[in-house]
Chains A and B, each alone.
Chain A
Amino acid sequence: MIVGQRKPIDEIYAMIVANDVKKLLLGGCGTCVTISFAGGEKEVAELTAALELKATSDGWTLEITQLTPLRQCEPEYTREMADAVKAADAVLSLSCGVGVQTLAAEFPGKRVLPGVNTMMLGSHSPDRLFIEYCGACGDCILGETGGICPIVRCSKSMLNGPCGGSVNGKCEVSPDIGCGWQLIFDKLNELKLGATWDEVTTARDWRPSWHGGPRRLESK
């Protein structure tokens, strides 16, 4: 899923004041950011209460409407927000960057402010620790790396790791980061594919990746 983290309330409040917003639509998203506890119905309600409290103590008149469609990234669902958007000075979206941009495209002339920092494509462990799993690089090699992505799980995106900074299964960058290539090697061994590690992976063609402008996909 897309993992997001809500922006600090002071930053959000400052955006509201800077944009002279009196009537705010606080829009959540019922899919990815609900799972990462950043922008679901519950977080929308919590943020509404916190912003109202802050505005009151600050003497700022702020009227907040809450609405959480199933997905902000699909016009089919954002259309149900049309009336509420129309009535508001601005929308504060707690969706990922895709949702923010979809709303902005869908409602011309309306200010859409981001309330979440979109962090990664990741998954989480039972203790709510989210880890980046995918870089959306456009040319998947997980079949060769035991289902663990070296592009995002190695701090240097190495295709022939581990580098000399791998110690006790941890990355040189931080003891909180598992060495991606240790994980890959362990997994390959588990799959009895350890010998495939010895193949040199040649320079990658990054064209399907992030460096060619916004990528497009025509759905047939």
Chain B
Amino acid sequence: MSNLQRVLESGKFAVTSELGPPRDADASVVIEKAKLLKGQSDAVNITDNQTAIVRMSSIAAAKLLIDEGLEPVVQMTCRDRNRLAMQADILGAAALGAKNLLCLTGDHQKFGDHPQAKGVWDLDSIQLLQMVKAMRDDKKLLGGQEMAVAPDLFIGAAENPFADPFELRARRLAKKVAAGAQFIQTQIVYNVPKFEKWMEEVRALGLDKKVYIMAGISPLKSAGMAKYMKNNVPGMDVPDEYIARMTAAKDEGREPKEEGIAIAVELIEKMKTIPGIAGVHVMAIEWEEAVPDIVKAAGLLPRPMG
């Protein structure tokens, strides 16, 4: 069983963090980031060509993490691989010791560094969830072939409460749970009232009893970043209040990054009070060194080691 699953099942407030692999073959970048994150969270997500930008394979980087004594959550998108390649990689990831898999549809290739690429989209995230669950529980590949040794994976998915139509966001979570998701990491939360409204619907559908929901948290680096996220990242909801606080920090000669960390900590404290929230997923994008400060200030250390 994965450490993340053990922590969630124990009822403790869980923490995951995130590591973006480098855009080259330098293993030392992953190892250095792993050292920063060690002991700070229960598992570490490894992004899979995030925003359609080519980076070191999430599975290869996950193996580097395992060797450093951390537990990875391997992210897998449906953009770059068909069902053959995905199943091969799922078997390979499990064989290398990965115990958590996060199933994503993936950002469109248009956003990345290879907009000329042909997107695959053989499956979507919900179909990927079904496939992984059947591989693990029924020991069957999608094509029907049985296997002797199944991949033992704790299966996760994402959901974005801030995308439209809002009325489908909890219902879509239900579809993911029905397809096999055991834990959910949400889109980054800044708009707490809207997130709480979503959680009300999630609870009304009884989903908080069926799946562990971890709220996405990301520290803002600057007012510029906050504005960019608000205006340019589809499905990202950053209230003006936080943009104003980041601007004020700069204007008053304070370090905006510290304000960003303070906001992240406040958001985590808020998440702890929302019924049905089982933990937080802290994404400090290309700023992994912020994670220890955030989890410490949020009173989430030490982590219960598995």
Which positions in A face B, CB cutoff 8 Å? 155-169, 172-173, 179, 182, 185, 197-198, 200-204, 206
With a 10 A CB-CB cut-off, give which of A156, A173, A197, A204 has the most chain B CB atoms: A156
The answer to whether the Cβ of B50 comes within 8 Å of any Cβ in the partner chain is no
With A160-B127, A198-B171, A203-B142: A168-B164 Cβ-Cβ less than 8 Å: yes
> Shortest Cβ distance from A7 into chain B, in angstroms?
20
List residues of B (59-109) whose CB comes within 8 Å of A's CBs: 78-79, 83, 105-108
> Shortest Cβ distance from A188 into chain B, in angstroms?
11
What size tier do the contact residues of chain B reach? 35 or more
Instruction: Report whether B105 and A167 are in contact in the complex, using a CB–CB cutoff of 8 Å.
Output: no
Residues of chain B within 8 A of A206, CB atoms compared: 122
Residues of chain B within 8 A of A204, CB atoms compared: 127
Q: Out of B121, B142, B235, which one reaches A157, CB within 8 Å? A: B121
Given the complex of chains A and B, what is the CA–CA distance between A163 and B77 in angstroms?
Answer: 12
Given the complex of chains A and B, what is the CA–CA distance between A204 and B127 in angstroms?
Answer: 9
With A156-B121, A158-B121, A198-B175: A173-B108 Cβ-Cβ less than 8 Å: yes
Closest chain A residue, CB of each to CB of B158: A164
Residues of chain B within 8 A of A172, CB atoms compared: 107-108, 111, 234-235
Given the complex of chains A and B, what is the CA–CA distance between A198 and B111 in angstroms?
Answer: 29
Given contacts A158-B121, A203-B122, 10 further A-B contacts (CB under 8 A): A160-B124, A160-B125, A160-B127, A162-B168, A164-B187, A164-B235, A185-B168, A197-B171, A200-B179, A206-B122
The answer to whether the Cβ of B131 comes within 8 Å of any Cβ in the partner chain is yes
Residues of chain A within 8 A of B39, CB atoms compared: none
Given the complex of chains A and B, what is the CA–CA distance between A198 and B177 in angstroms?
Answer: 12
With A159-B124, A162-B164, A162-B165: A202-B130 Cβ-Cβ less than 8 Å: yes
Given the complex of chains A and B, what is the CA–CA distance between A203 and B174 in angstroms?
Answer: 18
The answer to whether the Cβ of B18 comes within 8 Å of any Cβ in the partner chain is no
Instruction: Report whether B119 and A156 are in contact in the complex, using a CB–CB cutoff of 8 Å.
Output: yes
The answer to whether the Cβ of B194 comes within 8 Å of any Cβ in the partner chain is no
Instruction: Report whether A166 and B163 are in contact in the complex, using a CB–CB cutoff of 8 Å.
Output: yes
> Shortest Cβ distance from A151 into chain B, in angstroms?
9
